[in-house]
Structure 1
Amino acid sequence: MPHTKDHLPDALYRAAQVRDIDARLIAAGTPGLELMHRATRATWRALVRRWPAANELTVLAGHGNNAGDGYLVAALAHRAGWHVRVLAVGDPQRLQGDAAQAHGQALAEGVAVQGWNAQSELRGVILDALLGTGLSGEVREPYASAIRGINASGLPVAAVDVPSGLCADTGCVSGVAVRADLCVTFIGLKLGLFTGDAADHVGELAFNDLQAPAETFCDIPVAARRLDAANLPRPAPRAATAHKGRFGHVLLIGGDLGFGGAIVLSTESALRSGAGMVSLATRAEHVSAVLARVPEAMALGASSANQLMGLLEKASVLVAGPGLGQAGWGRSLLSAAANAPLPQVWDADALNQLAAGWVSLPKDCVITPHPGEAARLLGVSTAQVQADRPAAALALSKKYAAVTVLKGAGSLIAHPDGRLAVCHQGHPAMATAGLGDVLAGLLGALMAQGMDSFAAACLAVWLHANAGLQQGKFGRGLAASDLIPAIRQLLEEHAPCLK
């Protein structure tokens, strides 16, 4: 089950920040063992709620505080009449402090504790209490083998705080990670639970703040904000006297020979997302197809950049890149666009030209790279981008002084001032061509209607992802154009045209 619950807090933190909050709670008078008991009760409630008919539990425990939670959950399950075993991965004698006390309490309750080995049988619900948020570097043995055993078992799996092997800061798998059906996390939501590989490993997400008072968080800056319907920016409603001249003129540039469909998708998306007027400059060969599909758009068959000048003077927002190509035609048009004093959205081949150094990015731009394009823009590998997506998004915004949308699972929106937002919605059926073209047109339309670039990017990404989630329920075969009417409906539900 994907973690799409919108009742979760929107503030996301890094693991070190949550550890700091935990230390503050202890310093303020809440014993660490009491916090562990609170986490235990929250985990037990979530586990029983998820699997109400279960009566058997296998806990895999490491030797940190995460293991302490596991031992105490085992004690609760034993007290409730479940068949319970703890498989200790690592020597329990290495447990210290609160975790050691939790181990002692489990033994006192009569919980069976055995050493784990590769032949250990896993039964019932599995509770992953192995590594938690303190992991640094790749998962080592024997933990790697234990995690592979969990994943191969086919049994229901719950994880304590974070699935073992998943980086709580980046969402990147550190060699191998538990694939949980349920993850119960505490005190503050971790950024890594919402981007990168998290969607394949977190499952349903439950959260408990362990009764941490709000003042504990007051001077800790959030690492990112989770986008949901409650905190999204909204375009203003329209007056009864509204006319097309009040809602911007989007000019889209792209569609070299062989790539005409991309610019058509962006154009239709911009029109259906509320732009007052929409124009496009494309190859003359594509104009008839554009007008057949989107007769409301003003289409120019452009053979050179000189023909753009009149359109650039009339436009209020420019979208460049869908199907633009990297040949002379596209390079000429993008060079003219780069010199126009307009808010702009750069996507696809506009970003590849930027990465190649053929053009400079103008001010007040939004760039929308996928991980491969982001890697070229930063001069690193795609694997390096995916290893720390939040850092890559922020680095792009700083390098290019632009709002950055780093697309992919858990899309990130970064501002040059350090603000970061994450959208964890979406659907795997969205793994198809043309989705980025739809997003670019949507983003241009929202900017044309007066939204600032960061707000427009946040809303566009959320609308796009949730339209994909809605349409993805029909399964494979999703086409990019399927999202456009769904986006229009979601936009109206979120921000009605009339008051």
Structure 2
Amino acid sequence: MPHTKDELPDALYSAAQVRALDASLIAAGTPGFELMQRAARATWRAMVRQWPTANELSVLAGHGNNAGDGYLVAVLAQRAGWSVRVLAVGEPQRLQGDAALAHAQAVSEKAVIETWSAQSPLRGIVLDALLGTGLTGEAREPYGSAIDAINAAELPVVSVDIPSGLCADTGHILGCAVRADLTVTFIGLKLGLFTGDAADVVGALVFNDLHADPPLLDAAPAIGRRLTANNLPSLAARAPASHKGKFGHVLLIGGDRGLGGAILLSAQSALRSGAGMVSVATRSEHVLAALARIPEAMVLGTSSANQLMGLLQKVSVLVVGPGLGQAAWGRSLLSAAANAPLPQVWDADALNMLAEDRVALPKNCVITPHPGEAARLLGISTGQVQADRPGAAHALSKKYTAVVVLKGAGSLIASPDGRLAVCHQGHPAMATAGLGDVLAGLVGALLAQGMATFDAACLAVWLHANAGEQQGKSGRGLAASDLIPAIRQLLEEQAPCLK
């Protein structure tokens, strides 16, 4: 059955898994050509819904099953009275199996099929049926030029299964990729549709399972899941006789000279996300500003790690890193935190010093790197991280035995036990300073209220992204502090404080 963007399944698979599911459907008795026809009908219906007044179609077809889908969509469009032209980028004589049958049907229906060239004009809606999910390296010629031609045409574009050039497993563009307005994907959702470069090229996403038997899909072990409002971990409601001592005491450590705003954003986020008590250890110069902005917090002016020792005995969760700096002051505070047997969230400069092996990460931690920090932690380039974001998240989780939030488009949450979640909500207005500080404080508050590390990270990332999406509707100029009241509202909607 088809699904809209808001009704997509939760389970995510690799390209190889989806190909195996396809083979299982065929082995269970559904002919491959029937599956191809179902895919074509699903694509056709989605296209007509998206552009109900359209009447012209240009199909760019490769030489695999993706091309077969394209030829069958061309048949459906021609039967509906559209002006249709198929531009064969892959040689039709190389088509095999079901794709060859699809080509033969298009020929029998007298569809116009021409050999594509760089001068071939594109008209109406453009259907990308070039490469599909099997691509592993950069698109070779003539496919690269065909992709460039599609993008240069500035026409409505539909991609069959996945935009050609986008890696189905990683969400990384392999050289170049079609920028689709609509992608119609089948059988199982591919992880690469939801992270990395995918946000720039997938467009609206429609899913159709091609009538696969649910037990068959359920038997396939998903490699990850999407975070949605329906599958989030949840905070328990509070008893009427609750008191602040039941909901944790978060200590936030950071804010070297010139960086005081970061730790205040984290502290405000922790307070507004439900922590029972909030303390801040920061430079003495920032105490007055902190008390003026957050009078509910207990603020300790700290010149050395020795001043933390008593406080570390009283708190339940640490958030370390926002505005910490990497000078002697920050190093000493981080060292003290690393020796505290408490659940912790490490962000920003705490991660930079971790990458330099200046300190060891304690157990039961959440780390929240952006791609640059992740690269330093793994000893690779930022480009290598972005080329395989799921692999980088898993590698970090394994290396540090920690829950990892790899931030960026399609943020990923990885657990040492192999679990992986992706949050594909958000808004480009969130590309501004301070949002990571808000996220760190939010994770700390959820940990303080008793959530497990992976659950706290998942809920925090979803709340943060959706608050940003909500506030981003006003456009540019989003400030990190704008997210905090929106997070509070979303948290109450998701997990009401009182039953």
TM-score range, shorter chain: over 0.9
Q: How many angstroms does 1:6 deviate by?
A: 2.9
- Rounded to whole Å, the distance in 2 between the matches of 1:453 and 1:396 is 15
User: For residues 370-415 of structure 1, what are the alpha-carbon distances to aligned partners after superposition, in whole Å with 9 as ceiling and x for unaligned?
Assistant: 0000000000000000000000000000000000000000000000
CA deviation vs aligned residue, 1:464-492 (integer Å, no higher than 9, x gap): 00000000000000000000000000000
Tell me the residue number matched to 1:249: 249
Q: Deviations over 1:274-323 (max 9, x none)?
A: 00000010000001011111010000000000000111111100000000
Correspondence for 2:450: 450
Q: Check the 8 A contact 1:371/1:382 in 2, yes or no.
A: yes
**CA gap 1:35/1:4 in 2 versus in 1, 3 angstroms:** closer
Residue 20 of structure 2 aligns with which residue?
20
- Map Cα deviations across residues 183-221 of structure 1 (whole Å, 9 max, x no partner): 000000000000000000000000000011022124321
Q: What's 1:379 paired with?
A: 379
Q: Map of 1:293-308 to 2, 5 A cutoff?
A: 293-308=293-308
Secondary structure, in 3 states, of the residue corresponding to 1:71? Answer: helix
Shift of 1:90: 1.9
Residue type of the alignment partner of 2:100: A
Counterpart residue number, 1:435: 435
Aligned-partner residue type, residue 232 of structure 1: L
Matching residue's letter, 2:304? S
CA offset digits 1:333-353 (Å, max 9, x no partner): 000000001000000000000
Is 1:470 the counterpart of 2:482? The answer is no
Report the 3-state secondary structure (helix = DSSP H, G, I; strand = E; otherwise coil) of the residue aligned with 2:197: helix
Match of 2:211 in 1: 211
The equivalent of 2:106 in structure 1 is 106
- In 2, Cα distance between equivalents of 1:136 and 1:442: 38
Distance (Å, rounded) in 2 between the aligned partners of 1:306 and 1:263: 20
Please, what TM-score do these two structures have when normalized by structure 2? 0.99
Distance 1:66 1:273 in 2: 47
What is the Cα deviation at residue 4 of structure 1?
Answer: 9.0
Pairs within 5 Å for 1:309-458: 309-458=309-458
Unaligned runs of 5+ in 1: none
Instruction: Find the residue that maps to 1:363 and give its secondary structure.
Output: coil
| Structure 2: distance between partners of 1:314 and 1:111 | 76
Letter in 1 for 2:316: S
Could you tell me how far apart the structure 1 residues matched to 2:435 and 2:378 are? 23
Q: Tell me, in whole angstroms, the C-alpha distance in 2 between the residues paired with 1:218 and 1:286.
A: 54
- Specify the code of the residue in structure 2 equivalent to 1:151: N
Map of 1:53-92 to 2, 5 A cutoff? 53-92=53-92
- Tell me, what secondary structure is at the counterpart of 1:185? strand
Deviation string 1:426-453 (CA, Å, 9 cap, x unpaired) is 0000000000000000000000001000
**Secondary structure class of the residue paired with 2:252:** strand
Aligned match of 1:134: 134
- What's the CA shift for 1:139? 0.8
State the SS of the aligned residue for 1:237. Answer: coil
Supply the distance in 1 between the matched residues of 2:90 and 2:192 (Cα, whole angstroms): 26
Counterpart residue identity of residue 434, structure 1: G
Asked if 1 retains the 8 angstrom alpha-carbon contact of 2:371 and 2:382, the reply is yes
Inter-partner Cα distance in structure 1 for 2:431 and 2:460: 18
- Give the Cα–Cα distance (whole angstroms) in 1 for the partners of residues 90 and 363 of structure 2: 55
2:461 corresponding residue in structure 1: 461
**Partner-residue secondary structure (3-state), 2:57:** strand
Match of 2:187 in 1: 187
- The residue aligned with 1:289 is 289
Q: 1:171 touches 1:195 (CA, 8 Å); kept in 2?
A: yes
Q: Deviations over 1:163-186 (max 9, x none)?
A: 000000000000000000000000
| SS state at 2:313 partner | helix
Query: How far apart, CA to CA, are the structure 2 residues paired with 1:299 and 1:55?
Result: 66
Contact 1:339 1:362 survives alignment (8 Å): yes
Secondary structure at the counterpart of residue 16 of structure 1: helix
Q: Distance in 2 between matches of 1:416 and 1:4?
A: 32
The answer on 1:157 being equivalent to 2:157 is yes
3-state DSSP of counterpart to 1:66: helix
**Identical positions, percent:** 79
Tell me, which stretches of 5 or more residues in structure 2 are unaligned? none
Q: 1:59, 1:223 → 2: CA distance? A: 33
**Contact kept in structure 1, 2:4 and 2:206, CA below 8 Å:** no
Q: Give the conservation status (yes or no) of the 8 Å contact 1:4–1:424.
A: no
Instruction: Note the C-alpha offset of 1:5.
Output: 2.7
Instruction: Compare 110-119 and 218-227 and name the one that shifted more.
Output: 218-227
Asked if 1:486 corresponds to 2:479, the answer is no
| Amino acid of the structure 1 residue aligned with 2:286 | H
Aligned residue in 1 for 2:121: 121
Between the aligned partners of 2:422 and 2:6, the Cα distance in structure 1 is 13
Contact 1:248 1:317 (8 Å CA) reproduced:
yes
Answer whether contact 1:150 1:178 (CA < 8 A) is retained: yes
> Structure 1: how far apart are the matches of 2:358 and 2:308?
19
Q: What letter is aligned with 1:149?
A: A
Equivalent residue letter for 1:109: E
Paired with 2:35 and 2:381, the residues of 1 have a C-alpha distance of 41
CA–CA separation in structure 2 for the residues paired with 1:4 and 1:262: 39
Instruction: Give SS of 2:251's match.
Output: strand
The one-letter code matched in structure 2 to 1:426 is G
8 A contact 1:6–1:229 mirrored in 2 = no
Instruction: Please provide the CA RMSD for this pair.
Output: 0.8
The answer (yes or no) to whether the contact 2:406–2:412 under 8 Å persists in 1 is yes
Q: State the distance in 2 between where 1:4 and 1:51 align.
A: 15
Distance 1:245 1:10, change over 3 A: same
The alignment status of 1:95 with 2:95, answered yes or no, reads: yes
Work out the CA distance in 2 between the residues paired with 1:213 and 1:230.
22
Is the 8 Å Cα contact of residues 4 and 425 (structure 1) preserved in structure 2? no
Q: Quick check: 1:232 aligned with 2:216?
A: no
Contact kept? 2:4, 2:207, Cα under 8 Å: no
Question: 1:413·1:457 contact (CA, 8 Å) conserved in 2?
Answer: yes
Distance 2:230 2:218 in 1: 21
What amino acid sits opposite 1:172 in the alignment?
H
Distance 1:391 1:209 in 2: 26
1:46 maps to a residue whose letter is A
